[in-house]
Structure 1
Amino acid sequence: MSPRHGSEATEETQRSPDASMTLLTEVYRRPLDPGYADAAARRAAGSEPRRTRRSTAGLVALAIALGLGATAATVALRQPTSSVQEARDLLESQIEQRSTEADAIQADITTMTEEIATLQEEVLGDEAQPVRDQIEADAVQAGVMPVTGPGLRLVLTDAPSDDPDVVDQSLRVQDVDLQVVVNGLWAAGAEAIAVNGQRISAMTAIRSAGDAVLVDLVALSSPYTVEAVGDAVHMQTELARASAGQHLATLRTTYGIGVQLSSQSKLELPGTGLVTMYSARVPESTAAPVPSPGAVEDAPDEDGMAGSAGPTGKDDT
């Protein structure tokens, strides 16, 4: 054995078997810090100065002051600042005021609608029953009057997500899905349609705003209940044959969106009340000029297309 190996063997025989565990061994053997041990020994020997009432009272007062300061700081951090609180109170008061005004206006609309119906009954009388029937039919198509009758109920529900904190738009019912469904029901013969209680008319817009779907500026959320009054069997058959049925099947199988279709013996759809009448006309500046008698049209150009004079007097090419 070489001298180097012999010295290493001697060191190994002299080394404590638990030398690698020195720290843990010291912790087990002397769990108390030396400073604390000395203080405890002095206190046991009586050489440690005794705590007076003044020092004890000072410690208690300091602890109370620290506790009050921590509590005040916590309350101050949790409470909003005065300016933020004032802005919040102002917004809340404005929302309540606008909501009250909207409810009052809606009540006036309902009252006026009933008065208009009463006046129509008085003016028409019993001799103009065909006119009354036509008015009622037009009111139903316009969505003004409530409708009751059998039909279909279609409920669309967002697909469940594995991670609720991650928003996957493909798993949610979107505005285009409701548009396809509503148009498909119209094509299938629906007489009246409502989405979550919002009546669909010729002037209704279905759009999205963030995570919500807007129907006539009313925010809706899942589940979306689409109700259509009409022949339930005929509408269900035509809906399955059309592209809307294929779209619903794709939503169910590909994206996991809930699709529940059922026939209903009685559906009650609300009316929209009075509607705003619109008219349109072509502005005179954009109206096509009427050629005078005997006028000669422009001859075709080299490409075989006739040129026309634009607003600048140059030929549009």
Structure 2
Amino acid sequence: MTSRHGDAVQRPAPDASMTLLNEVYRRPLDPGYAAAAEGRRTGTRPPRTRRGAALLLVLGVLLGLGTVTAAVSLRTPPPSVVAARNLLQNQIEQHDAEAEALEADITALSDEVRALQESALDDVDPALAAELEASQIASGVVPVTGTGLRIVLTDAPVDPESSEEDPSSRVQDFDLQVLVNGLWASGAEAVAINGERLTTTSAIRSSGPVVRVDLVPLVSPYVVEAVGDPVAMQTEIARSSAGQLLATLRNTYGIGVDTSSQTALELPGTGQVKLHDATVPEESRLTPPTPSSTSDEPLGTPDAGASTEGAGEAAGVAGSARHPGRERT
């Protein structure tokens, strides 16, 4: 059926569905506003009384108080959230105190074990005691002191007009890794970052904006201390890739680099360690078992033998025992 047939269905006007829009376009002002304006112009509008003004003022104050109360209630966390946050904060403080107490116990026990080892070995073999002491120094177990270098790396100043911080302006884990490797290669005998002694198994990693050394979070400034000949180390660092990196950090990214020679550095030790997977072969131990002419037992008292075996294990590893649960490498 087409439009030429007389009984065709009549379609509505194209603009019938836009009646409201057409009305708004033709009469943008509501008739009530027009009547109020006409009454104000002709003076027929009833005058505003004090009672009405007072009611209007009270209504405005109530609306303002309601708005403020709603905003405060939305910004204030519920009591359950506050209680959970306080509980977590108390648990964190408690665990921190327990960790500090355990670290103090580890340090005290490490000193006691080292004293017993030295006492036992001095009676059995003084040369072996000297060799054990040298191994402990090389592995980072005991504290050391001596001349050396101190290199301080500081994050670049933050631009107050910038909305986002540039990650390149911060000292990153790679920067510390290259610097530490350069110090080892230049003859450093012991290295520490912000008081954390580095060993052969130490890990330097980034966790967001924080640099961690053996799971210990560190922040800028990063004080890298190395015990050794300061003149020789400074010369070798300047010739190596570490020196080029320091120059790039200073000149390109604005990171602070301060190098100074020190006449007396004190680096802490990592304490006694426990082997997880590695074992020391019998032929590599400091005190291989020596059969007796009358017995199959090794010479020396059982206590001395036990202490010597423990010393061999201490000399064969360079991990950190101050931080339980550290990652293995």
TM (norm. structure 1) is 0.67
Q: Which residue of 2 aligns with 1:311?
A: none
Q: Which amino acid aligns with 2:138?
A: Q
Distance in 2 of aligned mates of 1:48 and 1:64: 23
Q: 2:252 is matched with which residue: 234, 251, 254?
A: 254
**Which residues in structure 2 correspond to 1:119-130 (within 5 Å)?**
119-125=116-122, 128-130=125-127
Q: Which residue of 1 aligns with 2:225?
A: 227
Q: Larger Rg: 1 or 2?
A: 1
- Superposition deviation, residue 240 in structure 1: 1.5
Q: Alignment length, in residue pairs?
A: 243
Q: 2:92 is matched with which residue: 90, 95, 102?
A: 95
Q: Which amino acid aligns with 1:159?
A: A
Q: Which residue of 1 aligns with 2:261?
A: 263
Q: Measured at CA, do residues 170 and 59 of structure 1 come closer, stay the same or move farther in structure 2, by a change above 3 Å?
A: closer
**Which residues in structure 2 correspond to 1:26-175 (within 5 Å)?**
48=47, 50-52=49-51, 58=55, 62=59, 65-125=62-122, 128-162=125-159, 163-175=161-173
Q: Which amino acid aligns with 1:119?
A: L
Distance in 1 of aligned mates of 2:154 and 2:172: 10
Q: Which residue of 2 aligns with 1:191?
A: 189
Q: Which amino acid aligns with 1:143?
A: G
User: In structure 1, the residue corresponding to 2:50 is in which secondary structure?
Assistant: coil
Q: Which amino acid aligns with 2:142?
A: M
Q: Which amino acid aligns with 2:272?
A: L
Give a deviation string over 1:72-123, Cα, whole Å, max 9, x none: 2232122113343343223212212221221121121012112212322432
Q: Which amino acid aligns with 2:264?
A: K
Q: Measured at CA, do residues 49 and 250 of structure 1 come closer, stay the same or move farther in structure 2, by a change above 3 Å?
A: closer
Q: Which range moved further: 65-74 or 166-175?
A: 65-74
- Superposition deviation, residue 56 in structure 1: 7.4
Report 1 or 2 for greater relative contact order, CA contacts < 8 Å, sequence distance ≥ 6.
2
- Superposition deviation, residue 58 in structure 1: 5.0
Q: Measured at CA, do residues 165 and 268 of structure 1 come closer, stay the same or move farther in structure 2, by a change above 3 Å?
A: farther
User: In structure 1, the residue corresponding to 2:178 is in which secondary structure?
Assistant: helix
Q: Which amino acid aligns with 2:251?
A: T
Distance in 2 of aligned mates of 1:133 and 1:268: 21
TM (norm. structure 2) is 0.64
Distance in 1 of aligned mates of 2:130 and 2:162: 52
Q: Which amino acid aligns with 2:73?
A: A
Q: Measured at CA, do residues 49 and 127 of structure 1 come closer, stay the same or move farther in structure 2, by a change above 3 Å?
A: closer
Unmatched 5+ stretches in structure 2? 1-35, 280-329
Q: Which residue of 1 aligns with 2:234?
A: 236
User: In structure 2, the residue corresponding to 1:141 is in which secondary structure?
Assistant: helix
Unmatched 5+ stretches in structure 1? 1-33, 282-317
Task: Indicate the RMSD between aligned Cα atoms, in angstroms.
Answer: 3.0
Q: Which range moved further: 105-114 or 62-71?
A: 62-71
Q: Which residue of 2 aligns with 1:205?
A: 203
Q: Which amino acid aligns with 2:156?
A: A
- Superposition deviation, residue 207 in structure 1: 1.0
Q: Which amino acid aligns with 1:124?
A: L
Q: Which amino acid aligns with 1:132?
A: A
